[in-house]
A = this chain, B = another copy of it.
Amino acid sequence: MLKDWKKSERPSDEEVQVKLDTLRAQLATKQTLLKDHKLPVLVVLEGWGGAGKGSVLGKVIKNIDPRFFKVATMSVESEEEKRRPFLYRHFIKIPEAGKYMFLDGSWMEDVTNEYLHGDLEEEEYKNRLTSIKQFERQLTDNGYLVMKFFFHIDEKEQKKRIEGLLEDKNTKWRVSQNDLWQNKHYEKCLDVYDAYLRETNQSQAPWYIIDAKNKKWAEAQLLDILVNGIDTALKNEAKAVPILQNMFPLRKTPKLSEIPLDKELTEEEYREELEKCQKKLAKLHNELYRKRIPVIIAYEGWDAAGKGGNIKRITGALDPRGFEVHPIASPEPHEKARHYLWRFWTRLPKTGHIAVFDRTWYGRVMVERLEGFCSENDWQRAYNEINEFEKELTEWGAIVIKFWVQIDKDVQLARFTERQNTPEKQWKITDEDWRNREKWDLYEEAIDEMLQKTNTVNAPWYVLESNDKKYARIKALKILIEEIEKKL
């Protein structure tokens, strides 16, 4: 794309100025529209070192009220960030509904730099491009406006600019080692950037190349495209998008109704196994930490199925500095304003740590589906989005284990009634629990579909038969131990 790109003729300085005045005023009027339509806008600025992304960005944001935007500048990955999946530091920066996020440098810079410097093998680089395309598609599918700009200057111009900056001791610091490297290997970089742009130039999130030789003209081009992009996006509310075919190898799952729930342990068996398992798990936790392997344990299950007690038996074995439990309730406003997976991306463990989710991203295809908190197209699309999400996690090296804690309807009723009648347990039972119980059959249908469509080989579901909580706890521990041992 960069190679066959022809710049259009630059208008005269006066014409550019007139354009700029109009466009700046137009941009200023958009912010309340964004807010009214709850449109999140992600603006990605990429380009050659010295092309002036930063200074143009500085001009652009002058037209927007600071409450409506954030700016993030690409920095070297921190040690903290290195311990997360490569998309982590980008995903957590996505804008809230109704607001802008401007990224001065992004995942493109990340992966092309690593690739150019030989730190990413060909195959790994291709995998990252696939992840990036999925990431961008997930954003646009979920109603994000994603505008990607590449600031383009030629080799000579870049050289001139770098030399200009170096000559002045006040600006010298702005020239990075990478800028120098880029200019020295301009042709090689051009090849890689060109291929990257072509590969990631998807119709819903296309690339726009900015002729960056003149700063005002660059700003005018960017504003023009941005204003038009916002206008286009504002016309589409709750757009439905095609449901992609499942491309993940799936394990066969029985229906919930086919699972016998008569398994149990005696008190004695339980105590014995519990001690044995917990000891083993504690040892494995150390090894995980040393080998920097992250573990993600997802709990879903019926109300009163015994998730809480089950989780306690696992965390009871772990060093408290090495794990975190995330109880997931309804999303907070700032979470609701973002992609539904955002609040899980932000809670990912570091390498070597264990994160336990008490309820998870599967809310999308259960409660959100059944209560109409998202559209049909949203939840139908979510199976694939979730499989992609979990694939990112396992590709990163994580162990992902998903537990469905299963009980039958009678047991639930007994436990509800007991909670109702036991003063110190009453906080655990709400009207909502009773309302959900009435929808048991609808939930069961949704859960069966969920288990079937997301029981991937890399992140499988395990059903914990929990009519006898003791049995379920030991089973969870054993599965966890087995999966960790497999990985070590």
Could you list which residues of chain A lie within 8 angstroms of chain B, going by C-beta atoms?
A: 1, 4-6, 8-9, 137, 140-141, 202-209, 225, 228-229, 232-233, 235-236, 239-250, 252, 377, 380
Contacts of A250 in B (CB 8 A): 6, 8-9
- Does A243 lie within 8 Å of B232, measured CB to CB? yes
Contacts of A141 in B (CB 8 A): 203
Contacts of A137 in B (CB 8 A): 203
- Does A203 lie within 8 Å of B204, measured CB to CB? yes
CB nearest neighbor in B for A203:
B137
Contacts of A235 in B (CB 8 A): 240, 377
Instruction: Report the Cα distance A62→B274, complex, angstroms.
Output: 61
Known: A232-B243, A239-B236, A240-B236. A203 touches B203 (CB 8 A): yes
A327 vs chain B, min Cβ distance (A): 34
A307 vs chain B, min Cβ distance (A): 29
- Does A204 lie within 8 Å of B242, measured CB to CB? yes
Instruction: Report the Cα distance A334→B206, complex, angstroms.
Output: 33
- Does A208 lie within 8 Å of B245, measured CB to CB? yes
CB nearest neighbor in B for A238:
B235
Cβ contact of A6, chosen from B228, B233, B249, cutoff 8 A: B249
Known: A232-B377, A247-B1, A377-B232. A206 touches B242 (CB 8 A): yes
Counting every copy of the chain, the complex holds: 2
Instruction: Report the Cα distance A5→B205, complex, angstroms.
Output: 26
Known: A141-B203, A202-B202, A232-B377. A5 touches B247 (CB 8 A): yes
Interface of A is mostly: loop
Instruction: Report the Cα distance A308→B370, complex, angstroms.
Output: 64
Instruction: Report the Cα distance A252→B11, complex, angstroms.
Output: 11
CB nearest neighbor in B for A202:
B203
CB nearest neighbor in B for A140:
B203
A184 vs chain B, min Cβ distance (A): 28
- Does A229 lie within 8 Å of B249, measured CB to CB? no
- Does A206 lie within 8 Å of B244, measured CB to CB? yes
Contacts of A203 in B (CB 8 A): 137, 140-141, 202-204, 241-242, 244
Instruction: Report the Cα distance A137→B203, complex, angstroms.
Output: 7
A145 vs chain B, min Cβ distance (A): 9
Contacts of A1 in B (CB 8 A): 247
Instruction: Report the Cα distance A140→B204, complex, angstroms.
Output: 11
CB nearest neighbor in B for A198:
B130
Contacts of A140 in B (CB 8 A): 203
Instruction: Report the Cα distance A233→B242, complex, angstroms.
Output: 8
A138 vs chain B, min Cβ distance (A): 10
Instruction: Report the Cα distance A207→B228, complex, angstroms.
Output: 30
Contacts of A206 in B (CB 8 A): 242, 244-245
What are 21 inter-chain pairs, A to B, with CB distance below 8 A?
A1-B247, A5-B247, A6-B247, A6-B249, A6-B250, A8-B246, A202-B202, A203-B204, A203-B242, A205-B242, A206-B242, A206-B245, A207-B245, A208-B245, A209-B245, A228-B243, A228-B380, A229-B242, A232-B243, A232-B377, A239-B239
Instruction: Report the Cα distance A232→B248, complex, angstroms.
Output: 22
Instruction: Report the Cα distance A228→B243, complex, angstroms.
Output: 8
A18 vs chain B, min Cβ distance (A): 15
Cβ contact of A242, chosen from B232, B240, B247, cutoff 8 A: B232
A457 vs chain B, min Cβ distance (A): 8
Instruction: Report the Cα distance A248→B4, complex, angstroms.
Output: 9
Instruction: Report the Cα distance A172→B380, complex, angstroms.
Output: 44
Cβ contact of A232, chosen from B4, B8, B240, cutoff 8 A: B240
Instruction: Report the Cα distance A233→B248, complex, angstroms.
Output: 24
Instruction: Report the Cα distance A239→B205, complex, angstroms.
Output: 15
Instruction: Report the Cα distance A248→B244, complex, angstroms.
Output: 32
A124 vs chain B, min Cβ distance (A): 16
